[in-house]
Amino acid sequence: MSSCSAAQTPHLLNLSPEELAAWLQAGGQPAYRAGQLLQWVFHHRAESFQQMSNLPGELRRRLEQNYRLWTTRPLAHRRAPDGTEKLLLQLADGHSVECVLLRQGPQRRTVCISTQVGCAMGCVFCASGLDGVVRNLTRGEILEQVLRLQQLLEAEERLSHVVVMGMGEPLANLDELLPALDLLTSPQGLGLSHRRVTISTVGLPRGIRRLAELDRPYHLAVSLHAPSDSLRTQLVPVNRSIGLEAVLEAVEEYFRATGRRVTFEYVLLGGVNDSPQAARQLGRLLRPLRPLVNLIPYNPVAGLPYRTPDEQRVRRFVQELQRQGVQVQVRRRKGAGIEAACGQLRRRHVQQQTAESPAKP
Ligand code: SAH
């Protein structure tokens, strides 16, 4: 654990670029220093202020005294044969979050990041929410996941996509997520196109509307998992107070405002929501929105009673949806064997800790 004073030193990445520029200016530095500093952080993958060789030594010392560049400590690092890497990061307050690097083909390098410690949505098949939500991540903690994963890349690899699909409900933490994404998509940060950023939500209509009003065409993915309110409320308890209709209305607004087609995610749980009838019902429900449907065969979570449907059942579901004219893809499983589904690694770590120190409340 870091000392008390170190833990209180502010995180550099929690500053907006404007706040950083103001701090530098107050210390008598020219305006271009902020750009130089961010260049080191985002492009040169700097690990310390000391490495920032084009900053004056005195400034590097002042930065070290006043800010922390890193607040997390990697607790676990896994690498799967397909190139997927997963980090479990310990935050300054001892909690932990997961993030994942996915390698697809020669070019595509995607990071999957978390927005909360735990999750309040309670989806019954998901490891992240089994113990509820602890807190929101700060913008700096969100950015730090991207930077930690970027440091795992080879020199010739470039980060190309960000998916906000890790632990937590992103639309329940937009105040911290949006400034982080602003930096990732600005030339001062990573300069990623908005289109290469996907935000995955359980479907909170107010949050979807707020995104629609932003005028930043992020790709939106909505986790539906059921074609009817009764089944959805069983699987996604937060649906009880929202309802499918309100979710789909907000999605339509997002589509109208941004011109971006929305993706619907649907976790296939054997014998629960994977019947051909469910596929037909889903097709009829979604067809007017001309969506892309992403089917995700259930990734088993220890202790949960669900099962992954077999290939034939998945194929039948795909065919039924296609028959309704809905574009569909089955998400290939990446990182098998490293517990890459959100929340699994953290859960195991927390369980181990609890087992090792039963006296802890
Ligand atoms: N809260 C956001 C992001 C969560 S995780 C949301 O609900 O979209 C991203 C996706 O993984 C969601 O669609 C989620 O339902 C799915 N998921 C969670 N646990 C899973 C599991 N065990 N197997 C397959 N997909 C899972």
Task: State if residue 342 touches ligand 1 by the CB under 6 angstroms criterion.
Answer: yes
Res 337: pLDDT: 63
Q: What does the DSSP assignment read for 259-297?
A: -PPPEEEEEE-TTTT-SHHHHHHHHHHHGGG--EEEEEE
The pLDDT tens digits for 210-246 are 999 998 999 999 999 999 999 999 999 999 999 999 9
Alpha carbon of 185 to ligand 1 centroid (Å): 24
H helix or E strand, kind and range, residue 108: strand 108-112
Residues forming CATH 3.20.20.70 domain(s) in the chain:
73-331
Q: Which residues are catalytic?
A: 98, 342
Res 273: pLDDT: 98
pTM of the model: 0.93
Nearest residue by C-alpha to atom 17 in ligand 1: 126
Alpha carbon of 284 to ligand 1 centroid (Å): 23
Res 129: pLDDT: 86
| The domain over range 73-331 is classified in CATH as 3.90.1150.10 | no
Task: State if residue 178 touches ligand 1 by the CB under 6 angstroms criterion.
Answer: no
The pLDDT tens digits for 272-328 are 999 999 999 999 999 999 999 999 999 999 999 999 999 999 999 999 999 999 999
Q: CA separation (Å) from 266 to 63, 121, 134, 232, 354? A: 46, 16, 26, 11, 33
Decide: residue 361, CB within 10 A, 0-12 exposed, 13-18 middle, 19+ buried: exposed
Decide: residue 280, CB within 10 A, 0-12 exposed, 13-18 middle, 19+ buried: middle
Task: State if residue 123 touches ligand 1 by the CB under 6 angstroms criterion.
Answer: yes
Residues forming CATH 1.10.150.530 domain(s) in the chain:
12-66
Residues 203 and 249 sit within 8 Å (Cβ to Cβ): no
Residues 131 and 350 sit within 8 Å (Cβ to Cβ): yes
SS3 label, residue 134: strand
Ligand 1 nearest-atom number relative to CA 304: 22
- Which residues of the chain, if any, have pLDDT below 70? 1-7, 333-345, 347-361
Q: What does the DSSP assignment read for 327-348?
A: EEEEPPP-STTTT-STTHHHHH
Res 4: pLDDT: 46
Per the structure block, which two tokens stand in for 193?
A: 């196109």
Cα–Cα–Cα angle for 300, 302, 305, rounded to 5 degrees? 70
Q: Give the integer Cα–Cα distance in Å for 131 and 65.
A: 37
| The domain over range 12-66 is classified in CATH as 3.40.50.1580 | no
Per the structure block, which two tokens stand in for 338?
A: 């490293």
Alpha carbon of 47 to ligand 1 centroid (Å): 32
Res 224: pLDDT: 98
